[in-house]
Each structure stands twice: as structure tokens, then as C-alpha cells.
Amino acid sequence: MTSILKNTYEKGLDDTILRNLSENFNSLGELELKVLVADVKSLTNTFASFETEFLQQYEKLSKLEKIDRDILRVLNLDDYQARTIKGLSKDVDKSENEIVERITYSKYLNEFLKVFPRKSRSGEVLITTKSKYEKSATYRDKFIDAFATSRVRLK
């Protein structure tokens, strides 16, 4: 990335990028201009990729029923890495059976959920989101998940 773009991009000053480019444009050589064009194309492709992924996630979320969105909201709270069915039931204000039914049968909800590869200390099933699991699961949990011959099951 050119030093002009790199300095402003790292600071997160998008409006400064254009100002610096316009102030320094005349001093750029042909090679620097080619690199700059490549950087701008790369940033454009990155943005387009991000936008596509965002729209796909939005489309999936829009198909969820209210209870599914409530389950995801509770699971995304920073208070817990994962939740038990009982904890979800309490925070979503639905019965444990309703929670299990949604987790089991909601095609769209299941695209976001991950059943932990181990149970809680009290022996209960743990549920989290796939993104939260990827970010916060320990190496031990990921190892267990990768090599488990039998999976934790909901009730």
C-alpha cells in the first residue's frame, strides 16, 4: 500500500485520504500511481466483498422469526460465552421445550448457532453462536470439537 494511503488508512481517516491524495498527487511518480491504482482497486474489492457478505447475513436474519431473533440476541450478549437451554429459556421468556424446538427445527436459526462440544459443569448442553465460538472458544474446546466421535445432543 502506498505510504500516503497507508498512513491515512491506518488512522481510519477516510476523508483525509482524499485530501492527502489531492495534495500529493502531483509529486507521485508513474510507479507510485500504478501502485495507488492497485491499492484503490483492492480496497474497492474488499468493500464489495464485505457488502455482499453483509447483505447475505441480513437476508438470513430477515427470515428469522421473533423467537429466533430473541435467542440470537441473548446469545450475543457479552455476559456469557455460551448459554444453557435453561438460561436461554429464562432470558427469552419461553419454555425450555420451545427453545429446544426452535434450535432443532429452525433452518435459518441453525445457520447461526453452535452446540458446544462439551457440556457445562452441571451436565447441561451449551449453545452459542458460530461467530462467538470461533472468536472465544479455547483450544481445548476446538480440539474436542475437531476430534469428537460423538456429538453433544440437545435433550
Q: How many domains does the chain have?
A: 2
Print the domain residue range for 118: 64-147
Is residue 97 assigned to a domain? Answer: yes
Q: What is the mean pLDDT of residues 59-78?
A: 84
100 shares a domain with 49: no
Tens of pLDDT, residues 69-125: 899 999 988 888 899 999 999 999 999 999 999 988 888 888 889 888 888 899 998
Q: What is the mean pLDDT of residues 34-55?
A: 76
Q: Are 102 and 109 in contact (CB under 8 A)?
A: yes
141 shares a domain with 77: yes
Check pLDDT > 50 for residue 11: yes
**CA gap 68, 85 in Å, rounded:** 14
Helix-, strand-, coil-residue percentages of the chain, each rounded to 5: 65, 5, 25
